[in-house]
Structure 1
């Protein structure tokens, strides 16, 4: 009788393991996105373009993209050791428009101002909203002296 009870529990354990084993989907993957989409920003050094100083930044998110992405690109000038924003603009995008499924040019935002002497850099700040979570991003380019 004792061997029969042990055999019964071994068979029951085998059935439970088989039903819930390798064929099941991991809980995080089936919960509708408990992990937020990852995004990054890449500021580019200011350049001369059409008689202007232009600051640009590119962004990229993992597929399928976030619920929302706001990127603020700033052109800054060094005034005696203090970085001063000369021009800034915010841009919004979302979902697939933030991923590699669109070209790098379509994921690049830029601001500019008239040529002037000085040392300049690009500062980019971003805010990613996905699954009701918000994450801040930022980056600063290298400096460019007298780009014009």
Structure 2
């Protein structure tokens, strides 16, 4: 009889040890307060997709599209650059920076609403679109960068 009581007690102790280990491993040690962001406790993943420069209304236009997982980040800053190859060096000929956040970055909005563009007058040369983004979410920053394929004399 004494052996049965000891086994039950050991089983209860083992249960609580395992439960405590699970709770400890599932808790993020750096986040002891409620998250004050739209993304909750999980990090939102975003991507940027530059499009090859194209002619539009007598201008060379560089466009880039962004997309983030729902519910979107606390903040997203996107810089779109139209660049020309000048003797092997990419030189920025037009650029603009755009800021957005939350659901405006997700598929809840159309691809057109998540596309930003810059442009300049038509000119000869080889061009590309270069895009950089900074994602701010859950008090953390991460950067993204991507370049399109080249386009020679788009006009």
Q: TM-score w.r.t. structure 2 length? A: 0.82
Aligned residues: 142
1:23 aligned residue? none
User: Which consecutive segments of 4 or more residues in structure 1 shift more than 4 A?
Assistant: 13-17
Q: CA deviation at 1:5?
A: 1.5
Distance 2:49 2:90 in 1: 19
Structure 2 counterpart of 1:103: 110
Q: 1:50-76 CA distances to partner (integer Å, 9 max, x unpaired)?
A: 110000000000111000000000000
Q: Could you tell me which residue of structure 1 aligns to residue 135 of structure 2?
A: 128
Show the counterpart of 2:53: 46
Deviations 1:101-131 (A, max 9, x none): 1111100000001000000000000000001
Structure 1 residues without counterparts, runs of 5 or longer: 21-25
- Compute the RMSD of aligned alpha carbons: 2.3
Alignment TM-score, normalising by the size of structure 1: 0.85
Q: Find the partner of 2:145 among 113, 138, 143.
A: 138
User: Which residue number in structure 1 is paired with residue 31 of structure 2?
Assistant: none
Structure 2 residues without counterparts, runs of 5 or longer: 21-25, 29-33
